[in-house]
C-alpha cells in the first residue's frame, strides 16, 4: 500500500484532490480531498474515505448518511497530483440529496438546475451535514 502512495504528489498541506466517478455509467459524482491516511483507509477498507478540510478529520463517505462509496479502482494522473476513483455509489453522492454534485449548468446566460433532490437531506443527515 505504501507503494501506492509513492506515486502520488500530495500538496503542501498533504492533500490531493480526488474525483469520484461511477464506474459503470461514467457519471462524475463529486470531488473531495484525500490525505495519506484517507487513502490508506480507502485501500484497506475498500470503501472511500476522504479528508474533510472543514472538520479536519477523516471522512468516511456515508458515515452519517449511509450513502457510501465502494472503491472499484484507484487511478492517478500523469503528474501524480490528482486521483480518479472509480466507485459504486450507494444512493446519492451530493449532500443536497442529488445523485451528483454537478447539477448546475451554464446555459443561455444563466445557471440551470439539471436535477432535483432524490431524497430529503434532512432524512440523510438530521441536523448534521456530512461534508468535505
Residues that bind its own copies in the complex, under the rule CB under 8 A: 1, 3-4, 7, 17, 19, 21, 25-28, 30-31, 43, 73-79, 82, 84, 94-96, 98, 101-107, 109-111, 114, 132
User: How many angstroms separate the CA atoms of 74 and 117, rounded?
Assistant: 28
The three cell numbers locating residue 115 = 436535477
Q: Least distance (Å) from its own copies to the CB of residue 126? A: 19
Q: Which is nearer to its own copies, 78 or 122 (CB)?
A: 78
Q: Which is nearer to its own copies, 58 or 74 (CB)?
A: 74
Q: Is 84 in a helix, a strand, or coil? A: strand
Q: Least distance (Å) from its own copies to the CB of residue 68? A: 18
Q: Which is nearer to its own copies, 60 or 92 (CB)?
A: 92
Q: Is residue 38 within 8 Å of 32, Cβ to Cβ?
A: no
Q: Least distance (Å) from its own copies to the CB of residue 127? A: 18
Q: Is residue 69 within 8 Å of 91, Cβ to Cβ?
A: no
Q: Least distance (Å) from its own copies to the CB of residue 66? A: 19
Q: Is 69 in a helix, a strand, or coil? A: strand
For residue 46, CA distances in Å to 39, 86, 101 come to 10, 11, 22
What stretch of H or E contains 123? Answer: helix 121-125
Q: Which is nearer to its own copies, 20 or 60 (CB)?
A: 20
Amino acid at each position: 500500500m505504501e507503494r501506492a502512495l509513492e506515486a502520488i504528489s500530495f500538496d503542501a498541506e498533504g492533500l490531493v484532490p480526488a474525483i469520484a466517478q461511477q464506474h459503470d455509467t461514467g457519471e462524475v459524482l463529486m470531488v473531495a480531498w484525500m490525505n495519506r491516511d484517507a487513502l490508506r483507509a480507502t485501500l484497506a477498507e475498500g470503501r472511500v474515505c476522504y479528508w474533510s478540510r472543514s472538520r479536519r478529520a477523516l471522512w468516511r463517505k456515508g458515515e452519517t448518511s449511509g450513502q457510501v462509496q465502494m472503491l472499484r479502482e484507484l487511478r492517478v494522473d500523469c503528474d501524480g497530483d490528482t486521483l480518479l476513483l472509480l466507485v459504486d455509489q450507494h444512493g446519492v453522492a451530493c449532500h443536497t440529496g442529488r445523485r451528483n454534485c454537478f447539477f448546475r449548468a451554464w446555459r443561455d446566460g444563466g445557471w440551470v438546475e439539471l436535477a432535483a433532490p432524490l431524497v430529503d437531506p434532512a432524512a440523510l443527515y438530521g441536523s448534521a451535514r456530512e461534508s468535505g
